[in-house]
Structures are given as structure tokens and as C-alpha cells.
């Protein structure tokens, strides 16, 4: 079953603009991760935020986590055409032991 | 260093047949996980193996099985294929038993006709 729900399902912006994607989940987590997938290929890990962290940065990426609302957001600043991809949040649940539970993803299109 | 490698990249099978998918993890990684990704959806967890032992199983029928070898490579087997098994099968490795983070291969695209 899918725990994470991403919002929006699809997002289209112009190069240079910022892109914000949101993720909601249902259970207690150890950490939340964001992955990127280009056109049916493998997923690439972008960033991990632990349950006791509220914000994390990596280059043009900024992730926030609100465990009280069970939600996270991924901000990509100064987007580029090469950022066009699907973005997935994935939760490492406290009781899962061994699995990541992925949302259904946000399809981001950055127009040149 | 080589990343996670999967073979074959594409496969076409007929309903009722059997399929074996293969995965080689990143050197030094002892954990391998398998995920199924149906078109338009997020990946769904199938199995995790760590140190050659099954450490987790997702909500998939017994037609799905896997194993991990002494060199930490892994196979996913699916018997009695159904049309609904058509998907991208992703293998991921990690250094420890946990999921932080996962390194994915490019997957095997399975089409069942």
C-alpha cells in the first residue's frame, strides 16, 4: 500500500522558477527520503531527513519535515530543464523493519 | 565504482511462464531489496535480503520468491506469470540492513502478454 501521497501529481514551470512538492504520510517514521526518477529508469536518492530534523539543505534542494502534521516538502530552487523528472517521497516507518514505502510521485516538467 | 546492475533490461514473457531477474549490488553492500513499479505509480516493496537472509517481505503472492548469494548478488523469481505482473522491477542495495539510503539499478522492464 502507498503511505505517501504527493501533491501535486504534476507540476509544470519555467526554467529559473522554484518548484515545491509536498508529501503526506500516515505512520510514525524513522526518516523520510526523496528520490528522483528519469523516464522509467532507476531512482536516484536526493536527500534524507530524520524524524528529529525539521529542515535540511543540499545544493538547490531544501526539504522540510513536520512530524506533527505528518508532512514533508521538497523545494527545488532555480530550476533547470534537466530537473524534469518524477519525484517520490519514501518513508522508513518505525515498524517496517526493512522497507521503504513510496508515494505515487510528482511529475515535474521544467520548460526551457 | 560500478553501481547496481540488473539483467536483463527488458523481457517479454507469456502468461503462465516463469521469469528470473538478476541483480548485482554495489561492491561492499550486503543488503538487496526488490521493488515493483507499475506504470504511473510509485515502487512497491517486494523483498529485502541482508547477509543472505530474508529480512522483509511485502504483500505479494507466493509466486514471487527471491534469494541472495554468498557474493550478495540476488535473484527474483516469479512463477505462473499474470498480465498484471507487467512492470518495472527495481533492485536496490544499501550498505547496512536499514534503508538509508537505497541505491537503485535501472530496472528490468517485464512485459507479460
Q: How confident is the model at residue A25 (pLDDT cuts 50, 70, 90)?
A: very high
Q: How confident is the model at residue B95 (pLDDT cuts 50, 70, 90)?
A: confident
Q: How large is the average pLDDT for residues B58-68?
A: 97
Q: How large is the average pLDDT for residues B41-47?
A: 95
Query: How much is the mean pLDDT over chain B?
Result: 94
Contacts of A88 in chain B (CB under 8 A): 42-43
Cα distance between residue A21 and residue B59, in whole Å: 28
Longest dimension (CA), chain B: 38
Q: Does B53 touch chain A (CB under 8 A)?
A: no
Q: How confident is the model at residue A41 (pLDDT cuts 50, 70, 90)?
A: confident
Q: B12 or A94: whose pLDDT is higher?
A: B12
Contact A3, A91 (CB under 8 A): yes
- Asked if A1 and B59 come within 8 Å (Cβ–Cβ), the reply is yes
Q: How confident is the model at residue A4 (pLDDT cuts 50, 70, 90)?
A: low
- Asked if A42 and B42 come within 8 Å (Cβ–Cβ), the reply is no
Q: Which DSSP letter does residue A7 get?
A: E
- Chain A residue at shortest CA distance from B41: A104
Contact B78, B64 (CB under 8 A): yes
Q: How large is the average pLDDT for residues B26-47?
A: 94
Cα distance between residue A104 and residue B40, in whole Å: 7
Return the SS3 of A107.
strand
Q: Above 80 in pLDDT, residue B51?
A: yes
Q: How confident is the model at residue A39 (pLDDT cuts 50, 70, 90)?
A: confident
Q: Above 70 in pLDDT, residue A96?
A: no
Cβ contacts of A74 within 8 Å, gap of 6 or more: A20, A21, A22, A23, A34, A46, A47, A61, A62, A63, A87, A89
Contact B74, B32 (CB under 8 A): yes
Q: Above 50 in pLDDT, residue A45?
A: yes
- Asked if B98 and A103 come within 8 Å (Cβ–Cβ), the reply is no
Q: How confident is the model at residue B57 (pLDDT cuts 50, 70, 90)?
A: very high
pLDDT of residue A35: 97
Q: Above 60 in pLDDT, residue A2?
A: no
Q: Among A68-77, A98-107, B81-90, whose mean pLDDT is lowest?
A: A98-107
Q: Is B102 exposed, middle or buried (0-12, 13-18, 19+ CB in 10 A)?
A: buried
Cβ density class B65-92: b for 16+ within 10 Å, e for less: bbebeeebbbbbebeebeeebbbbbbbb
Amino acid at each position: 500500500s502507498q503511505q505517501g501521497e504527493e501533491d501535486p501529481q504534476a507540476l509544470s514551470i519555467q526554467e529559473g522558477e522554484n518548484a515545491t512538492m509536498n508529501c503526506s504520510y500516515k505512520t510514525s517514521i524513522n526518516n523520510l527520503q526523496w528520490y528522483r526518477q528519469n523516464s522509467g529508469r532507476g531512482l536516484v536518492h536526493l536527500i534524507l531527513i530524520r524524524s528529529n530534523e525539521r529542515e535540511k539543505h543540499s545544493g538547490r534542494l531544501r526539504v522540510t519535515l513536520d512530524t506533527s502534521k505528518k508532512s514533508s516538502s521538497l523545494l527545488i530552487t532555480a530550476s533547470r530543464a534537466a530537473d524534469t523528472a518524477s519525484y517520490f517521497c519514501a518513508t522508513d516507518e518505525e515498524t517496517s523493519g526493512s522497507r521503504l514505502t513510496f508515494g505515487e510521485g510528482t511529475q515535474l516538467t521544467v520548460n526551457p | 565504482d560500478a553501481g547496481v546492475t540488473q539483467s536483463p533490461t527488458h523481457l517479454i514473457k507469456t502468461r503462465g511462464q516463469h521469469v528470473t531477474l538478476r541483480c548485482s549490488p554495489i561492491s561492499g553492500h550486503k543488503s538487496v531489496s526488490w521493488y515493483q513499479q507499475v506504470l504511473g505509480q510509485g515502487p512497491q516493496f517486494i523483498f529485502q535480503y541482508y547477509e543472505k537472509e530474508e529480512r522483509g517481505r511485502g504483500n505479494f503472492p507466493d509466486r514471487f520468491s527471491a534469494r541472495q548469494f554468498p557474493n550478495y548478488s540476488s535473484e527474483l523469481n516469479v512463477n505462473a506469470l499474470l498480465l498484471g505482473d507487467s512492470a518495472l522491477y527495481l533492485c536496490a542495495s544499501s550498505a547496512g540492513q536499514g534503508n538509508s539510503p537505497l541505491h537503485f539499478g535501472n530496472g528490468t522492464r517485464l512485459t507479460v502478454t
